[in-house]
Amino acid sequence: MQCVSNHTEPIFIFETHPVQYRAPVYMELQTLKPNSFRVFYASDCSVRGHLDREFQKEISWDSPLLEGYPCTVLHNEHGQPLTTWASLNGRGIFSLLKKHRPRAIILCQFNYAYSVAAYLSAIMLRIPIWIRMETQDNAFQRSKRADFVRSCLYRML
């Protein structure tokens, strides 16, 4: 059974910053389903350049990560982007969602205040939330208690 929607409003996708392996997906999606979505980035630091903590050097992508699909950079940086939970904030997200009322939003992570603001704003405005998450669970050692709390939080979301 195929589910068909009569909605023409775009879906809003909230990303922290342009990523070299996701931009081609959005470019292809734009080809397949033109103007059915819009990506909102908190920052364009990966394009303009920033100090990467893990590599300890300035990096930027030289491929066109902001072309070929509808996207907006919100410049929701607070201090050095991608460094702390509060380094990408949710300034203006509630107003954006209230004004445009997208059919749904897609959240790709919960590592920053930016994503939590989008999540809470959508709940308050009764906009459906889709979560598309990548995890690196095997890369981090957590206590059993931390694993339990994290698991409960994700299930609640």
| Choice between 97 and 141, residue whose per-residue pLDDT is larger | 97
- Supply the pLDDT for residue 18: 94
Quick one: average pLDDT of 57-72? 85
Question: How is residue 112 written in tokens?
Answer: 């920053």
Domain boundaries, the chain: 11-156
Model confidence, pTM: 0.81
46 touches 138 (CB < 8 A): no
- Supply the pLDDT for residue 153: 72
- Supply the pLDDT for residue 136: 60
Quick one: average pLDDT of 99-112? 93
- Supply the pLDDT for residue 135: 63
Fold of 11-156: Rossmann fold (3.40.50)
DSSP per residue over 11-75, as a string?
EEEEESS--TTTHHHHHHHHHHSTTSEEEEES--HHHH-EEETTTTEEE---S-TTSSS-EEE--
- Supply the pLDDT for residue 127: 97
The per-residue pLDDT for range 116-151, each reduced to its tens digit, is 999 999 999 999 999 987 766 655 677 888 777 777
Q: What is the 3-state secondary structure (H, E, C) of 125-152?
A: CCCCEEECCCCCHHHCCCCHHHHHHHHH
